[in-house]
Chains A and B, each alone.
Chain A
Amino acid sequence: MAYNHKKELSKPERFAPGHRLCSGCGAGILCRAMTRALDEEDQAVIVNATGCLEVSSFLYPYTAWTDSYIHGAFENASAIGSGVEAAIKMKQKKGELDANVKILVIGGDGGTYDIGFQSLSGAMERGTDLTYFCYDNEAYMNTGIQRSSSTPRFANATTTPAGKVSTGKVQNKKDLTQIMAAHGIPYVAQTTYIGNLRDLHEKANRAIYTPGPAFVNVMSPCPRGWQYPTEDLALICKMAVETCVWPMYEVIEGTWYLNYEPKNKLPVEEFMKLQGRFRHCFKPGNEWTIEEAQNYVDRKWEELLSKVN
């Protein structure tokens, strides 16, 4: 059925207002969207890695989650999800569970690309029936904007600051979506907050209702870390897609689909110039950083096109 934004938004909210996420933060949008992608009558267990979202959505004695929710630690959301999955199977076997229960795991890039990578890989390999949503804001934001393996090259982070002899992070961003695709799981997708969120909604829904493991990587700008005015969130997401910095694609049972191809692929600086974390790249003498960033985006884009064609 075609996506009806109005209808989707008229569903009861499952991620309640009153949480303490910053305005202009991507994570809250994802929490609302992924729970909206659930069929209303279905039950969910949310598993959350330690991070901004956890400390902002479940401060004792308040929770923003209307579904059952569990947080254990930073690096193990997928493993906790595996335990919940085993419990669901067991309760179904015993006839103690009638409802359809879906497991939605959510973590930032720190808890997903880095410290939680082992447990994520393990749960995927085991075929655990859960959907992992990564809100990828490209650094350890909760502890104060330290670099992660997801931080793009040249970004200014507090452990890779730009300085007299530094142009920010030295390494390129880890391509986790492709690594997850290489696990051979039934569903992998990459998306962000574009327009009426149709792409995110459809991917979240497909991921949740694909039997077995699914992984959805959602670029989620952070106004504190990326240094932008909060109202620019949607613009930054749009530019990430229009420059091909963050292509929207999905891998269904091993087949690659590109969901959006810009008519005119914009230069990468259109994405970078909106954000304070790349400010130093625009200083005289640092032109090469933008060239290098462009070269990298071009190479990755061509690689992706070769997979989808």
Chain B
Amino acid sequence: MSIKDRMSGNEAIAYAMKQIEPDVFAAFPITPSTEIPQYFAQYVADGKVSTEFVTVESEHSSMSACMGAQAAGCRAVTATSSAGLAFMYEMLYVVASARLPVTLACVNRALTGPININNDHSDSMGARDSGWIQLYAENNQEAYDNYLQAMRIAERPDVRLPIMICQDGFITSHAVENILLETDEKVKAFVGTYEPENYLLNPDMPLAVGPYDTCPYYMEHKVQQAQAMKNAKQAILDVAADFERTFGRRYGLIEEYCMEDAEAALVLIGSTAGTARACIDEMRREGKKVGLIKIRSFRPFPAEEIAKALSGVRAAAVMDKSEGFSGCGGPVYAETCAACITLPKVPKLIDVVYGLGGRDCRMEDIRRVYDHLYEILETGETGPVYLHMGQRSNEKEVL
């Protein structure tokens, strides 16, 4: 039986960590993820976990310490946000290429420039090509559940990639919600232990990690890494299936809502899904055939699944919570368009960049996007495909 409780997203992650009891936690504070190492430090102080808690002097060092610990044969975790993740970028690539399944709790926050502590996805979207698996949560429950599944996915021998468990800063990290927790025993049994084949501290076989890789080898290693990311798709589904059998809650690569007959749809990531669902319920009562695709796994990107879900849709808006500065749309839009190119009938696709630096996104905002999609359907004119929503402006590229 699950335990009914209420806690914030940060506490939910810290609680999952306590239940899993990773070997090493390398910690450096940054808003809004700071509470995770804080809660965990108290667990350490109270003797509730035996984890080695290393209070490093920067995020670059927290990811580096995770690398050392995981390569040495331990389960290593950390948590960060925004500039902290940016400071890790170099090591994100190194850890991924060394095929070390480190787990990182990313509490999404806008990247600095100017400094802003509120939520958007620019931090983890910037790390999308680093070779990390990325799962995103809509609410506290999903943050907790994703974390329980993370190591099983990342450590699978045909995957062996690091994993980022993302949630929206403040919106879910600090908001206290009802949550279903599982017992320590069931969590430990589900997650299992880390059994690496090779590790630095293996007394029977030394290991060398992090070579200088010349032209004759580098590309082979990159292709192996790419294959591992492809394999991660099945791993996510398999672990989700076992999670559902064990705990009763269902997860996939994407989550569809009212998509069966939808003619206008949104594609988005994270906590905005809840707002969108409420809006859909309202509009469905008005007879509007609107639907939603929430992306749970952005890396690997579920291109086939998204294309399939959009195959019957006439117009869709991809909502990007980061500005990719490509000059033609955000990253989720670019990848969704690429996914849809295989469809016999590609829906009209627009990008709506929204919510940057914590700009609020309310039900009336979501409704405005759907209304815009209906306008496109009625006029047959797609108009500008790269829109920004919610800022002070009268430009036509603004919703």
Contact = CB atoms under 8 A, between A and B. Distances in A.
A55 B217 CA distance: 14
Nearest to A76: B64
B37 to A, nearest CB: 14
A107 B73 CA distance: 23
A89 B200 CA distance: 14
Given A43-B203, A76-B61, A83-B54, A63 B73 contact: no
Interface size, A (range): 35 or more
Contacts of A63: 208, 211
Contact of B67 (A54, A83, A99): A83
Contacts of A182: none
Contact of A75 (B60, B209, B212): B60
Contacts of B98: 72
Contacts of B57: 118-119, 121-122, 125
B72 interface: yes
A60 B68 contact: no
B214 interface: yes
Interface string B198-240: 0011110011111111100100000000000000000000000
Interface string A79-93: 111111111111101
Given A67-B206, A79-B56, A91 B74 contact: yes
Most B-side CB within 10 Å, residue of A47, A73, A83: A83
Contact of B201 (A73, A91, A118): A91
B52 A86 contact: yes
Contacts of A47: 68
Nearest to A93: B50
Contacts of A90: 23-24, 50-52, 69, 74
A72 B169 CA distance: 30
A54 B212 contact: yes
B276 interface: no
Contacts of B76: 83, 87
A262 interface: no
Given A73-B64, A75-B60, A119-B60, A58 B212 contact: yes
A98 interface: yes
A163 interface: no
B211 A70 contact: no
A71 interface: yes
A76 B203 contact: no
Contact of A88 (B60, B91, B201): B201
Contacts, number: 162
Interface string B65-104: 1111111111010000000000000110010001000000
A60 B212 contact: yes
Interface in A86-133: 86-91, 93, 97-99, 101, 118-119, 121-122, 125-126
B217 A60 contact: yes
Interface in B17-62: 23-24, 26, 50-52, 54-58, 60-62
Nearest to A63: B208
A86 B90 contact: no
Contacts of A10: none
Given A80-B68, A121-B57, A86 B208 contact: no
A61 B55 contact: no
A294 B305 CA distance: 73
A245 B210 CA distance: 36
Nearest to B76: A83
Given A87-B74, A97-B201, A126-B55, A72 B211 contact: no
A39 B54 CA distance: 28
B69 A83 contact: yes
Given A61-B217, A80-B65, A119-B61, A87 B212 contact: no
Nearest to B26: A83
Contacts of B69: 83-84, 86-87, 90
A126 B201 contact: no
A78 B207 CA distance: 19
A90 B75 CA distance: 10
B207 A79 contact: no
A256 interface: no
Contacts of B210: 54, 58, 70-72
A69 interface: yes
A172 interface: no
Interface string A241-283: 0000000000000000000000000000000000000000000
Interface of A: 43, 45, 47, 54-55, 58-61, 63, 65-73, 75-76, 78-91, 93, 97-99, 101, 118-119, 121-122, 125-126
21 contacts: A43-B201, A45-B201, A47-B68, A60-B217, A68-B201, A68-B206, A69-B206, A70-B210, A75-B60, A79-B64, A80-B68, A81-B68, A82-B54, A82-B68, A83-B26, A83-B65, A84-B68, A86-B54, A118-B58, A122-B61, A125-B57
